[in-house]
Structure 1
């Protein structure tokens, strides 16, 4: 299994939407996909699961004397016995043991989810305190720092996943450091604005520092009984998420930032001069804002919308184009994954 973290230091660029649709499309292309929600906001989990399922997996369901309808029983069956990321690390947070492993949630045949939880934010301080102690080989600290990696590794083995897609929050805090260290590769969704460029300039040095510290100062201290990531975090490239055009902002206002992205990505993230023969842009996705409400109500990917979901006339043509765009993006992503050298 190879893992891909989708990350940008700036929020609001469509990262979770991209993760959700990539997971469905990769599954459609015949791959066994594990989606992992390591963003405490848990938006990816909310995209996959309805409110009843969320209340069950978060143990917020109310006891009722009313019997569940048959379709409700089928829905809740797939989350029965599955824990969240927060419940998995709870023994570590309370100082009572190691990561608690469980089966991921089955979304459909070939697609699974490790659910997120707002309670995961409480793990931030524990991870922050564990980082300096990991540098001196403290075993408890190493178990804390590698908890996400071992959770993803176990979930992937349980379902025999080919690819793990990890949704990560938009910051450079301790949770994201542990989440990104757990990933083999990193894919960066970008918007056409100044904030994405600033995010790239911050993100690149942070990834390099974390990689260097982990591989030179930490891995040598990890005992054999603790599975630890290689800390490669190989940058795969970026996906431009096209914004909704505003009448008060001309197209040139977006293009000026887009034109600067390749050089900034090459210098700040990959850390070498831009090679004209190698493009780090994997795709530019058009804005599908008109499809989002329909997809949300239908609880399905935008490219799966049908006429019964309200995708009529010209909207159906947009659905077909959306399918083609995500299919092409997924195939390019798979090619990038195939081309990266193995971790040493």
Structure 2
């Protein structure tokens, strides 16, 4: 039995993918869902969120063999095979597989073997490389008996993200309220369908694989609107134009359905509209914790304390919606 893999993906940057993965990993673990978070963005922003600068220096400069995702797959670039990754235990039910800036060098390898996987022979190595992210993710999840795997990726449509999406059972799309997010959303639908179809052709080309392969489902779960300034709990009027176009564009581009006249808060496919928590964000970064774990000792007093409580409830609701949509094994309380 495979463990669900949810990737937070948008080829437009600055929409909060990393922050979402970080906070959802913590809130799910708080709700006793065992989570493995994986950083598959070569910029390693999620790794910088989870680990201190001293830990990062130790991680990347010491010869520990499989301390990052890249070191687990690196032997494939030569004549070796995948290695079981070492996970960082962040809390009782939260584990983390760090990223690595060296991962960017694996892009060329992935690009080279993509056409080779459609050849008439020697399928083992191309498929081992193309499915390496899924293999490592499942290896990591089974190692700690995880209920769910969350993945952060960079904002592009390159070979690394293609293999990450092939490894993903589900996809959640974070969006900002702007023209660029909508244009990115229009690109995502055709890209996901192309990758899904191309992977199926490759699987069909190797009818008797020598090891398990991902199905490349990339099932859309929904979208998340976020990073809006708020006034009286409603988005500022300047954003309304873009926010209100998202439900229709999502259906057309991602689901190939007819457009609808809905606001995101009325749309069942909108998993959440995450508020802009303003000064809580730098405060949480300073104390290296999610915003909903800030305390009065950290400076979260008065209106900040109320915002911390709201953030906890907001992410809890979001976690439950994702559980209902994906159906991973642990039932949230």
Contact 2:291 2:311 in 1 (8 A): yes
Q: 2:101 aligns with which of 93, 115, 118?
A: 118
Contact 1:192 1:240 in 2 (8 A): yes
Q: 2:272 aligns with which of 279, 283, 289?
A: 283
Number of aligned residue pairs: give it: 317
Q: 1:36 aligns with which of 35, 38, 52?
A: 38
Contact 2:68 2:86 in 1 (8 A): no
Aligned to 2:158: 173
Q: Deviations over 1:87-126 (max 9, x none)?
A: 1121112x12112222311111110011100000000111
Residue 74 (structure 2) pairs with residue 90 (structure 1): yes
Aligned to 1:325: 314
Q: Deviations over 1:16-50 (max 9, x none)?
A: 00100000001111100000100001010111111
- Measured in 1, the distance between the counterparts of 2:45 and 2:18 equals 7
| Matched residue SS, 1:96 | coil
Q: Deviations over 1:286-339 (max 9, x none)?
A: 001211111111111100000111111111111011111111111111111129
Aligned to 1:299: 288
- Measured in 2, the distance between the counterparts of 1:219 and 1:148 equals 20
Q: What does 1:1-344 align with in structure 2 at a 5 Å threshold?
A: 1-60=3-62, 82-93=66-77, 95-136=78-119, 138-221=123-206, 223-244=208-229, 251-274=236-259, 279-338=268-327
Contact 1:190 1:196 in 2 (8 A): yes
User: Cα–Cα, structure 1 residues 127 and 81, in superposed 2: closer, same or farther, change >3 Å?
Assistant: closer
Q: Deviations over 1:247-292 (max 9, x none)?
A: xxx9333111111111110011011224679621111010012111
Contact 1:146 1:227 in 2 (8 A): no
Contact 1:239 1:281 in 2 (8 A): yes
Superposition RMSD in Å: 2.0
- Measured in 1, the distance between the counterparts of 2:242 and 2:114 equals 36
Q: TM-score, normalised by structure 2?
A: 0.90
Shift in Å at residue 220 of structure 1? 4.2
